[in-house]
Structure 1
């Protein structure tokens, strides 16, 4: 009798534990479901154009600079700040790249390094006023938006600069070498990268789960863990197959992949990442606990400056053009990607992966609506409603869980 009563209770406990875990992950689960639904919707309404290899490749290339900005922006927003200047910094760095390469005749490789240094200096300038003078980031970066837009126009003389060397252009629109010699059905290098990435994701997931179980902090149900790994692996292999069916792997995808891996590790495992979350959660408590909040904030904006510079280089290389109006509205797309990706308005919550998924949602919406011939005015309307819905859902979840 005792054994018969124990088994249902254990099953109920396991079911309750799984339900509780899934409820706590509702935001993340909903994000991936939204991405899948949007892809399926546009795949049907565009008569299969959305998942054509050439369109998938274009989606990655055309949204790469926004995704790069979103990686830096999510860190800034987690810390409770915001950066409105990134679009202007993109334009300014693109202008400096144009001047260095085409007018000063600096080799493009050296120019890239110098432009990244320019981005770091921009971040240091803004981070100094925010961290040490305690001027709100909103004001400092709003001033930066105007300042660096003006400097862009001065550097270019309100004219456009083009063309750029092929080596520089490859950063934005180039592909890894085709090891199949252009005769194989699937580009071998891309297939190999996809399989390797899949194996690494599986191994990393298993290793992290084993570590959590070792310290008795594992609360993720095994079926959900397996389902998540299967979905992620299938997604990576699908993208690899589609890219291998076209021109192979875009160089900017390798750059973006490395950034995602590095910054995910920084935010999840490093002391610097934990300090960013602590500052966003409660600035005063973080300061009292011994965190050097001014130094962390300063480095945060230096990092944002470098990533903005990288995005500017990618965008300029992709267009083969340095334009005074480049980067218009990029800050809004990056901020929208972060909030759609699950970051909290109040700070302290967010992930690099979530920001990437949020950026992909915006990119797929833009791409799908353009294919369908939806006017730009309606595109703006729909993106605004999606952003509002994402933030409203976040606020609703906090209130339901007893937060403010």
Structure 2
């Protein structure tokens, strides 16, 4: 008599079988988490599409580097925004916070002549204070985040105009510009490409492979379904090829951008927090079922407060990166950044109702937005058309989320 454990593990023992079973395994692997796999397939498809439409210009080393530098602050905002959305909230103020924190940094460094790092610290402190302000009204007063952050969007935009006296302020010292425009290269000698960049990405691929293997081993020990070995190996190989191709483009341009190192640290840190800490699980619990989370002992008010403190901090980081990139502070900085960050989170798999989403998915969503914007710019498409396309992509992403939930419910 076949036990449940044997029935569960039977597909795992099958090394591939016939061509029909192989296709079945592949289909099941892709549809098991359709939302996640769809994000990455869409990203790859967009990269290939624009490479064809631009005659390969979108994949040139210089353009790849430019995408990293130009859209890095949106990636930072997307990390914070997906956490807010997972908890069932929204933050409409991040663009204004970017503007205000960059203005505070500029005033500190340019107007008052303090060291560049003093401007960074001042911006971070302002971001934390703004996050605490939002967190207080949302968590302890009970005003919906939509209203609180809408008020914050107006409040902090006005404060930006007041701080800058309605004029732009520039330039920053050269050290400040390294944050968003600096590169690490030449550490291992020159061969026509930067060896250090390739080494860093190769270590990253090895780390990814080891982590995936450990995850697979753990799932098997708990008799949970895992993809067949050939598909697992194919996934590792595909990721390795894509990552090293990206690394090669950077290595043949100007090397490893400093801001990319910062982004990698943020992505790994927040992925760890959301997936492997009590605080991360509490955020998912609050977004999934607020009443159940409260009854299970989750300190909902405290968690919500720190979610917005974190969003304020990451908005300040984005403000620092943006001001470093533009070498100054402008009253209109950060305009519409909140919509880009929200779109990135939803495109990356976050659910409108909360409780669902991943940091890596939000980053992938932000990269989709970046690749679309960059590709359409290279093609000379009008800005109005670009806005229409972005709006349609966001609408389709949310529609896909709703369809996927209905599909899962029907099963």
Indicate whether the TM-score tops 0.5: yes
Distance 2:399 2:231 in 1: 27
- Do 2:185 and 2:197's aligned partners in 1 also have CA atoms closer than 8 Å? no
Which residue number corresponds to residue 208 of structure 1? 215
Matched, 1:30 2:68: no
Contact 1:46 1:368 in 2 (8 A): yes
Residue correspondence of structure 1 range 224-373 to structure 2 within 5 A: 224-373=231-380
Say which SS state the counterpart of residue 132 (structure 1) adopts: helix
C-alpha distance 11-86 of structure 1, shift in aligned 2 (>3 A): closer
Instruction: Check the 8 A contact 1:129/1:140 in 2, yes or no.
Output: yes
Give the count of matched residue pairs.
Answer: 397
CA contact (8 A) 2:35 2:401 kept: yes
The normalised TM-score by structure 2 is 0.93
Partner of 1:391: 398
Query: How do residues 51-70 of structure 1 correspond to structure 2 at under 5 angstroms?
Result: 51-70=59-78
Shift of 1:13: 10
Distance 1:159 1:19 in 2: 57
Partners of 2:229 and 2:33 in 1: CA distance = 15
- Distance in 1, matches of 2:12 and 2:277, equals 38
Query: Could you say which residue in structure 2 is the equivalent of 1:114?
Result: 122
Q: 254-263 or 114-123, which moves further after superposition?
A: 114-123
Residue pairs, 1:120-269, within 5 angstroms: 120-179=128-187, 183-269=190-276
Tell me, in whole angstroms, the C-alpha distance in 2 between the residues paired with 1:257 and 1:231.
20
Q: Distance in 2 between matches of 1:112 and 1:174?
A: 16
Structure 1 residue 178: deviation in Å?
2.3
Cα deviation code 1:77-97 (max 9, x no counterpart): 000000000000000000000
Change beyond 3 A, Cα 1:101–1:227: same
Instruction: Quote the offset at 1:180 in angstroms.
Output: 5.5
Give 1:117 shift: 1.4
Contact 1:39 1:364 in 2 (8 A): yes
CA positional deviation for 1:223:
3.1
- The answer to whether the Cα contact below 8 Å between 1:209 and 1:218 also exists between their aligned partners in 2 is no
**Which of 102, 108, 113 is 1:100 aligned to?**
108
Give the whole-Å Cα distance in 1 for the aligned partners of 2:204 and 2:28.
31
Give matches, 1:42-57, under 5 Å: 42-57=50-65
* Cα distance, 1:91–1:260 mapped onto 2, change above 3 Å: same
Aligned-residue offset at 1:193: 0.8
Give, in angstroms, the shift of residue 10 of structure 1: 5.4
Deviation at 1:179, TM superposition (A): 2.5
> Does residue 75 of the first structure (1) align with residue 106 of the second (2)?
no
Rounded Cα–Cα distance in structure 2 between residues aligned with 1:11 and 1:280 = 34
Is the CA contact (8 Å cut-off) linking 1:87 and 1:327 kept in structure 2? yes
- Residue of structure 1 in register with 2:17 after alignment: none
Deviations 1:47-70 (A, max 9, x none): 110100000000011110000000
Separation (CA, whole Å) in 1 of partners of 2:69 and 2:373? 14
The Cα of 1:19 is off from its aligned counterpart by 4.7
SS at match of 1:345: coil
TM-score normalized by the length of structure 1: 0.94
Alpha-carbon separation, structure 2, partners of 1:391 and 1:326: 28
Instruction: Give the secondary-structure state (helix, strand or coil) at the position aligned to 1:401.
Output: helix
Contact 1:339–1:355, Cα closer than 8 Å, also in 2: yes
Question: What is the distance in 2 between the residues matched to 1:249 and 1:380?
Answer: 31
Corresponding position of 1:380: 387
Following superposition, the deviation at residue 202 of structure 1 comes to 1.0
Uncovered stretches (5+) of structure 1, i.e. residues with no partner: 1-5
CA–CA distance in 1 between the matches of 2:336 and 2:172? 24
User: Which residue of structure 2 aligns with residue 88 of structure 1?
Assistant: 96
Separation in structure 2 between the aligned mates of residue 229 and residue 180 of structure 1, nearest angstrom: 27
Between stretches 392-401 and 69-78, larger displacement belongs to 392-401
SS in 2 for 1:363: helix
Determine the C-alpha separation between the residues in 2 that align with 1:62 and 1:19.
37
SS at match of 1:30: helix
